[in-house]
């Protein structure tokens, strides 16, 4: 029978309180609110020490330990300080807004968790402290935000999602004192059968991480200790698989019924021959060939909600889009604004910001050698450190619409509808839209990059159709506009709506062979510009020439002869997302 999410959340808190360092931690998807507060309050009461809160932008010296700047400046010699991870030995670290955790910081935390030791050798100090701790990563990000770095989440044995749990379904919980379970845990043993069942279940569910079975083993031992058992039983293994494997499952296991049915006929004759207790005892070893494995898989399958795999794939795809180009543009590293991405040695020039703390930290160990007189500090150019930042660029989608030929009115109606649908999302997506139309002998910038829905409608309303197809001119115009957008620091995405049948050359003369050759050359120039491109083939049947043009500029080719506005907007939105 399926368990409620809040019941699993309560059980996860209890087993984690028994063995925080062994289980690794909890990846908690939840906005701030009463549900999360109740769960954390119950867990805090069960832990031996209060959790330590880790700020989002914590510096390395505060995280790992290093130079005590104030003490060093006062003493005139390097003075070391312990970091947060060393102080958290035997406890739990709360990583708030973990989706904003820099990958470098996550990697350093993961290395300390793997080694069970903090080692620091820099700035004239050398530190080494044994430490074992658990981590609760609060993931408050939406579909457009960066995911929590996998270097950290892969080491967290439990994953919970409170996003869809209303407060009325999350009553106050109190699972009592787990000190007895914590004391019993070192004596808990797991049989080879239970271990094999966990490994087989992980394989059947398509879980690639080798850490998952080990984390499930620790959860099973903690679950057994909570129930006063010194041996892991099927109930413990099933609970561990439900908590650890279900959120990581990428496939459904093969159905065992097809194999079980042929095996069922042989037992009845044995029971008919003798209905005494001895046959029952003989029957148990036959069933024990894989009953625990079956129970473990059944426990996972019972906890999987309908369409979970499709939901996980959609969530993964949306997070991948946010991590790559994203709905708000590609990542851009710079020295002026955005999120801090690291500190580097260097002089503050070209608008870069001096990091005063890092600069003083580099200068502090050398004050006695430099003959500094207190309270002054001698700082030299070699001590300068600057802060580097990264930010997401805006995305500008350029529609290049073929307005030639007899079906131009239909294509323009589709383009107008697609542009209006995309503009409706601009405030959320933080991107812009531009429109280039081509017909006759030239291409025209109909709508410069804008977020204005009214302006877009006015620009598209009066566009006439008919005439030749100057595809080469349209490609060059789109390339020039994309280059200008890139120079402004934004990310261009060019979408062509055309059948690819060019019949007007770049110089305005007619003739299909020359026009097609010019279009291929222009497509290659578009490729050299580096802009992401997409070609939507609007001909009644997919055209070879359109596919050839798309191949020349390495564009995504999409034959949509009868595409409507909704279809076009969905395709472009997906392409813009990654």
Q: Is 213 exposed, middle or buried (0-12, 13-18, 19+ CB in 10 A)?
A: buried
Residues 96 and 27 placed together within one structural domain of the fold: yes
Using 50, 70 and 90 to split pLDDT, how confident is the model at 106?
very high
Query: Mean pLDDT across the chain, nearest whole number?
Result: 78
Q: Which residues pair with 124 in a beta bridge?
A: none
- What's the residue count for the chain? 578
- 2 has pLDDT over 50: no
Domain co-membership, 414 together with 561: yes
pLDDT tens digit sequence for 108-145: 999 999 999 998 887 777 888 999 999 999 998 765 56
Which secondary-structure segment (H or E) carries 161?
A: strand 158-161
In a domain, 67, yes or no: yes
| Shared-domain flag, residues 38 and 87 | yes
If one counts every other C-beta atom within 10 angstroms of the C-beta of residue 431, the result is 25
169 and 22 within one domain: yes
Q: Looking at the domain assignment, is residue 86 inside a domain?
A: yes
Q: Tell me the range of 6-20, 497-511, 550-564 where mean pLDDT is highest.
A: 6-20
**pTM of the model as a whole:** 0.57
Q: Are residues 446 and 371 in the same domain?
A: no
Instruction: Report the domain count for the chain.
Output: 3
Domain residues for 100? 5-177
Same domain, 425 and 548: yes
Same domain, yes or no, for 437 and 335?
no
Tell me the HSE value of 330 on the side-chain side, using a 13 A CA sphere.
14
Alpha-carbon separation of residue 489 from 202, 321, 433 (angstroms): 45, 20, 15
Q: Is 295 among the domain residues?
A: no
Same domain, 481 and 343: no
pLDDT of 318 = 42
The pLDDT tens digits of the residues spanning 139-178 come to 987 655 678 899 999 999 999 999 888 888 888 888 777 8
My answer on whether 44 and 130 are in the same domain is yes
138 within 8 A of 30, measured Cβ to Cβ? yes
CB 39 within 8 A of CB 162: yes
Distance, in Å, from the CA atom of 265 to the CA atom of 285, rounded to the nearest integer, reads 17
Please indicate, yes or no, whether residues 542 and 490 belong to a single structural domain of this protein.
Answer: yes
Residues ≥6 apart with Cβ < 8 Å to 161: 5, 28, 29, 30, 247
Instruction: With respect to residue 557, please indicate whether it lies within any of the assigned structural domains.
Output: yes
Domain assignment present for 95: yes
Same domain for 452 and 337: no
pLDDT digits (tens, 9 = 90+) for 528-561: 888 888 888 877 777 788 889 999 998 888 776 6
- CATH code at 35? 3.40.50.300
> Could you tell me if 383 and 500 lie in one domain?
no
CATH number at residue 474: 3.40.50.410
Q: Point out the domain boundary residue: 392, 410, 439.
A: 392
- Residue 416, in any domain of the structure: yes
CA atoms within 13 A on the CB side of 430: 14
Q: Residue 167: inside a domain, yes or no?
A: yes
Contacts of residue 474, Cβ cutoff 8 Å, sequence gap at least 6: 400, 402, 436, 438, 443, 496, 498
Closest CA to 155 of 182, 133, 140, 185: 133
The pLDDT score that the predictor gives to residue 231 is 93
């Amino acid at each position: 029978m399926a368990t409620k999410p809040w019941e699993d959340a309560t059980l996860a808190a209890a087993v984690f309180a028994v063995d925080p360092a062994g289980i690794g931690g909890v990846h908690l998807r939840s906005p701030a609110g009463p549900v999360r507060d109740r769960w954390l309050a119950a867990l805090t009461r069960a832990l031996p020490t209060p959790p330590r809160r880790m700020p989002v932008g914590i510096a390395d010296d505060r995280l790992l330990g290093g130079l005590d700047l104030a003490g060093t400046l006062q003493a005139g010699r390097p003075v070391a300080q312990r970091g947060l991870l060393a102080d958290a030995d035997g406890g739990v670290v709360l990583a708030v807004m973990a989706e904003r955790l820099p990958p470098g910081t996550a990697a350093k935390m993961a290395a300390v968790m793997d080694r069970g030791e903090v080692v620091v050798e820099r700035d004239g100090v050398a530190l080494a402290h044994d430490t074992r701790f658990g981590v609760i990563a609060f993931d408050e990000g939406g579909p457009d935000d960066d995911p929590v770095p996998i270097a950290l989440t892969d080491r967290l044995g439990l994953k919970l999602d409170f996003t869809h749990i209303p407060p009325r379904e999350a009553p106050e919980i109190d699972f009592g004192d787990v000190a007895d379970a914590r004391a019993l845990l070192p004596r808990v043993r797991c049989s080879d059968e239970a271990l094999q069942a966990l490994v087989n279940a992980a394989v059947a569910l398509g879980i690639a991480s080798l850490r998952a079975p080990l984390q499930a083993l620790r959860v099973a031992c903690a679950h057994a200790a909570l129930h006063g058992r010194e041996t892991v039983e099927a109930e413990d293994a099933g609970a561990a698989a439900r908590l650890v494997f279900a959120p990581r499952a990428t496939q459904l296991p093969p159905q065992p019924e097809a194999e079980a049915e042929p095996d069922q006929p042989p037992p009845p004759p044995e029971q008919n021959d003798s209905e005494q207790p001895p046959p029952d005892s003989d029957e148990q070893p036959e069933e024990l060939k894989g009953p625990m494995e079956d129970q473990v898989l059944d426990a996972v399958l019972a906890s999987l909600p309908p369409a979970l795999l499709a939901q996980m794939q959609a969530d993964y795809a949306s997070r991948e889009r946010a991590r790559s180009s994203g709905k708000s543009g590609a990542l851009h590293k710079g020295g002026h604004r955005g999120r801090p991405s690291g500190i580097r040695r260097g002089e503050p020039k070209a608008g870069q910001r001096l990091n005063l703390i890092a600069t003083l930290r580099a200068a502090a160990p050398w004050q006695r050698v430099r003959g500094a007189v207190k309270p002054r500090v001698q700082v030299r150019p070699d001590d300068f450190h600057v802060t580097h930042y990264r930010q997401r660029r805006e995305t500008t989608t350029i529609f290049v619409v073929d307005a030639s030929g007899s079906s131009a009115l239909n294509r323009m109606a589709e383009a107008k509808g697609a542009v209006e649908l995309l503009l409706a999302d601009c405030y959320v997506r933080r991107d812009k839209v531009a429109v280039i139309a081509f017909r006759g002998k030239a291409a025209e910038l109909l709508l410069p990059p804008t977020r204005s829905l009214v302006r877009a409608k006015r620009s598209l309303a009066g566009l006439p159709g008919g005439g030749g197809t100057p595809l080469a001119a349209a490609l060059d115009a789109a390339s020039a506009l994309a280059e200008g957008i890139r120079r402004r620091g934004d990310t261009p995405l060019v979408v062509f709506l055309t059948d690819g049948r060019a019949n007007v050359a770049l110089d305005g003369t007619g003739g299909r062979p020359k026009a097609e050759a010019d279009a291929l050359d222009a497509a290659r120039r578009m490729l050299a510009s580096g802009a992401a491109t997409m070609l939507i083939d609007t001909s009644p049947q997919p055209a070879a020439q359109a596919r050839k043009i798309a191949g020349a500029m390495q564009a995504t080719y999409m034959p949509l002869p009868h595409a409507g506005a909704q279809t076009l907007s969905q395709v472009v939105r997906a392409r813009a997302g990654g």
